[in-house]
Structure 1
Amino acid sequence: MTGLDARLGRLLEGRKDKNRFRSLKEYDTSPESNLVDFSSNDYLSLTSSSSLRQSYLSRLSSTTSIFGSTGSRLLSGCTPSHSSLEKRFQEFFNSPSALLFNSGWDANVSFFSTVPQSTDWVIFDELVHASVHSGLRASRVPLDRRIPFDHNDPQSLEDVLKRITSQGSSTDKSTVFVAMESLYSMDGDFSPLPSLLDTLERFVPRERQCVVVDEAHSTGVYGEQGRGIVHALGEEASENRRGKGRVDIRLMTFGKAVGCSGAVLLCSPTVRSFLINFARPLIFSTALPHSTIIALECVWDVLQSEEGDQRRLSLMSLSSYVHSLLDQLLSRIPPAVLHLPPDPIIPFPQNSSVLPSKPGSPILGLLTPTPHALSAFLLDRGFIVRPVVPPTVPPGGERVRICLRAGMEKTVIKRLVDTLGQWAEMKLDDEKQVRAKL
């Protein structure tokens, strides 16, 4: 073992001592394995859609180029297929323009490392994606001008805005960037977007705002034909505004409900051109391969069809069902053993024709001090439910995360909740035995 290996090995041992060690896991989820995957972000079960598979294979058979794009977008990778897909997204999401990226991570890093300048402010929800933080660390924005606000808390945002606006002058031309997500992946809770945007509007003139909403976990799932929550609320900035249009930048990713890979940043033509000129992840990465471009075209055909509507309705029905079961179970279990995060804020107007006031979430974070033990217990009984521990979540936020998919049967969900109950009862019995020995 080299000196480097020895030094790194000691750091890894330290992570093991803290129960934070990570390793790659392989699971056989074929029908013969009897394992049910509750960890996948394939919310609409599109990866197993037979109609999507047939459509994809049909298009592949009639396409001459199906493999690599052969270069970056600035070299040989800007093909008519890439441009056509961007045009489709621009129209579908009602955006002034659109720019493809190889991943949501690349898109966030590209934007936040280049667009905010040294005199700007970047205010962000404390639980925003890690890629936003990575982008900001590579940016020119000083550390004291990057400020978090408490998760989903309009009052905390107001406090931050009061502080920074009191430091400015009437001639201040800096831009105030506000970064948040529409649906958060650890608690499965929604951002109260209208309230946050109303708060911003009271303190910062519209011409100095740039609101960035990451819709990674809502793309394809919410809104008309899966256009997302910002579109459903009429808050997207567009040339043909339907509503207030207070969200300037949207990130829609393809690795979750869409079942593919890649992402698209919805923005102004100027921001698009700026990123093409300055964003290193875009400039120096080979463009998405033709096979992915074809897959995305096929997926959007499904999302815009009756099948897409049915899958979204099925997912919402399953979300309502699992919450009803968990409410019954957790009412008789001490929170110290197992509990859900506090009820999320109801963020959407009652009169929304596209979003119910409290839409269901496919993500449930079940908090427990022993997530590894619970995950192992569930795996032994046929359920893949992964533990989430620090540094992914703060200390004290350890949990297992349950993700629903539209193709699941209610009987399987019932079995999972029953098994959670068995584990909780076992924990309570163990605690009683310990107390009896004292």
Structure 2
Amino acid sequence: MTELDKRLDHLLNGRKQKNRFRSFKEYDTSSESGLVDFSSNDYLSLTSSKALRKAYLSKLSSTPNIFGSTGSRLLSGCTPAHSALEKRFVSFFGSPSALLFNSGWDANVSFFATVPQPADWVIYDELVHASVHSGMRASRVPPERRIPFPHNDPKALAEVLETITSTSSSNDRSTVFLALESLYSMDGDFSPLPALLDVMGQNVPRSRQCVVLDEAHSTGVYGDQGRGVVHALGEEGGAQGGKRGEGRVDVRLMTFGKAVGCSGAVLLCSPTVRSFLVNFARPLIFSTALPHSTVIALDCVWDVLQSEEGDQRRRSLVVISAYIHSQLDILLARTPRDILHLPPDHNIPFPDSDAPNLPPKPGSPILGLLTPQPHALSAFLLERGFIVRPVVPPTVPPGGERVRICLRAGMRKEVIDSLIEALRLWVDSRVEEDRGVRAKL
């Protein structure tokens, strides 16, 4: 073993001792295995759509070039197919401009590493994705001008904004960036977006705002034909013809690796921001563009999302989400919080209940069940045929250990009932064990 391997092995052993060691897990999720996958982000079950598969194979057979794009977008990888897909997204999402990326990670890192300038501020929800943090660390914005606020807390956001604007001069031209998500992947809760945007408007002139919303977990799922939460609330913005859009969200990230069932992402922004990223975003400049096969797949997916099948899948997910929440409420009402509980603000209603295509309480497809024994609970559920993965630090802060349940359209209520029963058995076993320990004291 080399000296390098010895040092690295020592560090890995430290992670093992803290029960934080990561490794790949392989599961057979075919119908023959008997396992039910509750860890997949395939919220609409599009990866198993027979209509999508048929349309994709048909389009592949009639397309001359289906393999790699042959280079970055700045070399040979900017094909008519890539440009046509971006134009489709401009129209579909109601955005002034669109820019494809190979992943949501690349898009977030590219934006936050390049667009905010040294004199700007970046204010962010403390639970924003790790990619935003990586982008900020690579940016020229000094650490003291990158400020978190407590999760989903409009009052705390107001306090941060009041602090930074109270010291601003009348001729301050710096931009205040606000980084949020529409649906957070660990707690499974929605952003109180209208309230946060109101706070932003009360403290920062509109000309100095840049609100950036990550819709990775709501792309394809919420809003008219899956256009997302921002579109449903009528808050899509951006610069068009030199004028600000009426909406208050300037930049949106829509990703394709979850409900869309593919890979890649698109950043919806102003033409100026798009041009700036094309010139300065290293993950875009030095990466080979999305392959033709993926561009074709995305075109086919959007045909499904805009069809009756897409509507049916979205309705199915809302129904099954509401059902599991109702059943969990019954179980957790009699469960000690130190054994199992949901985050406090989980599944809060949207403040704007009149938004079209956005039910007042849409039901999150993500449930983060907090427990001090996530590995034990995950193993217990796997023995009973359910793939439910544990989430531990450093992915979540200490004390935030959990198992995460992800739902998919088309899941039967009987399967949900079986999962709830398995959770009940585990809770009962933990209660009995705790009684035994207390009896010996």
TM-score normalised according to structure 1 size: 0.98
- After superposition, residues 118-267 of structure 1 pair within 5 angstroms as 118-238=118-238, 239=240, 244-267=246-269
- After superposition, residues 373-412 of structure 1 pair within 5 angstroms as 373-412=376-415
Q: Secondary structure at the match of 1:123?
A: strand
Q: Secondary structure at the match of 1:359?
A: coil
Quote how far apart the aligned CAs of 1:184 are: 0.2
- After superposition, residues 35-434 of structure 1 pair within 5 angstroms as 35-238=35-238, 239=240, 244-344=246-346, 345-434=348-437
Within 1, Cα distance between the matches of 2:360 and 2:156? 23
Within 1, Cα distance between the matches of 2:266 and 2:20? 33
CA 1:55–1:225: 2 relative to 1, 3 Å: same
Within 2, Cα distance between the matches of 1:77 and 1:106? 17
Q: Deviations over 1:115-149 (max 9, x none)?
A: 00000000000000000010011100000000001
Residue 402 of structure 1 aligns with an amino acid whose one-letter code is I
Quote how far apart the aligned CAs of 1:407 are: 2.0
Residue 424 of structure 2 aligns with an amino acid whose one-letter code is G
Residue 311 of structure 1 aligns with an amino acid whose one-letter code is R
Q: Deviations over 1:363-407 (max 9, x none)?
A: 000000000000000001100000000011110000000000002
Q: Secondary structure at the match of 2:32?
A: helix
Deviates more, 1:230-239 or 1:46-55: 230-239
Q: Secondary structure at the match of 1:31?
A: coil
Within 2, Cα distance between the matches of 1:135 and 1:407? 37
Contact 1:59-1:294 within 8 A present in 2 as well: yes
Within 2, Cα distance between the matches of 1:242 and 1:52? 37
Within 1, Cα distance between the matches of 2:269 and 2:15? 40
Within 2, Cα distance between the matches of 1:242 and 1:92? 19
Contact 2:374-2:403 within 8 A present in 1 as well: yes
Within 2, Cα distance between the matches of 1:132 and 1:215? 13
Residue 254 of structure 1 aligns with an amino acid whose one-letter code is F
Within 2, Cα distance between the matches of 1:242 and 1:230? 16
Contact 1:41-1:257 within 8 A present in 2 as well: yes
Quote how far apart the aligned CAs of 1:348 are: 2.9
Residue 324 of structure 2 aligns with an amino acid whose one-letter code is V
Within 2, Cα distance between the matches of 1:184 and 1:109? 18
Deviates more, 1:353-362 or 1:250-259: 353-362
Quote how far apart the aligned CAs of 1:243 are: 8.3
Contact 2:114-2:277 within 8 A present in 1 as well: yes
Contact 2:197-2:248 within 8 A present in 1 as well: yes
Quote how far apart the aligned CAs of 1:112 are: 0.3
Q: Which residue of 1 aligns with 2:2?
A: 2
Give structure 2 stretches of 5+ with no counterpart: none
Within 1, Cα distance between the matches of 2:173 and 2:350? 31
Within 1, Cα distance between the matches of 2:246 and 2:328? 38
Quote how far apart the aligned CAs of 1:359 are: 1.4
Within 2, Cα distance between the matches of 1:271 and 1:260? 25
Residue 123 of structure 1 aligns with an amino acid whose one-letter code is I
Q: Secondary structure at the match of 1:335?
A: coil
Residue 17 of structure 2 aligns with an amino acid whose one-letter code is D
Q: Deviations over 1:278-304 (max 9, x none)?
A: 000000000000000000000000000
Within 1, Cα distance between the matches of 2:193 and 2:78? 35
Quote how far apart the aligned CAs of 1:351 are: 1.9
Quote how far apart the aligned CAs of 1:242 are: 12
Contact 2:237-2:244 within 8 A present in 1 as well: no
Q: Secondary structure at the match of 2:178?
A: strand
Within 2, Cα distance between the matches of 1:356 and 1:219? 16
Within 2, Cα distance between the matches of 1:286 and 1:165? 41
Quote how far apart the aligned CAs of 1:350 are: 2.4
Q: How many residues align?
A: 438
Residue 332 of structure 2 aligns with an amino acid whose one-letter code is L
Residue 361 of structure 2 aligns with an amino acid whose one-letter code is K
Contact 1:234-1:242 within 8 A present in 2 as well: no
Q: Secondary structure at the match of 1:32?
A: coil
Segments of 4+ moved more than 6 angstroms: 240-243
Within 1, Cα distance between the matches of 2:406 and 2:31? 19
Q: Deviations over 1:247-284 (max 9, x none)?
A: 00000000000000000000000000000000000000
Q: Secondary structure at the match of 1:427?
A: helix
Q: Deviations over 1:74-125 (max 9, x none)?
A: 0000000000000000000000000000000000000000000000000000
Contact 2:69-2:290 within 8 A present in 1 as well: yes
- Give me the identity figure in percent: 76
CA 1:243–1:282: 2 relative to 1, 3 Å: closer
Contact 1:367-1:398 within 8 A present in 2 as well: yes
Q: Secondary structure at the match of 2:417?
A: helix
Contact 2:127-2:151 within 8 A present in 1 as well: yes
Quote how far apart the aligned CAs of 1:346 are: 2.7
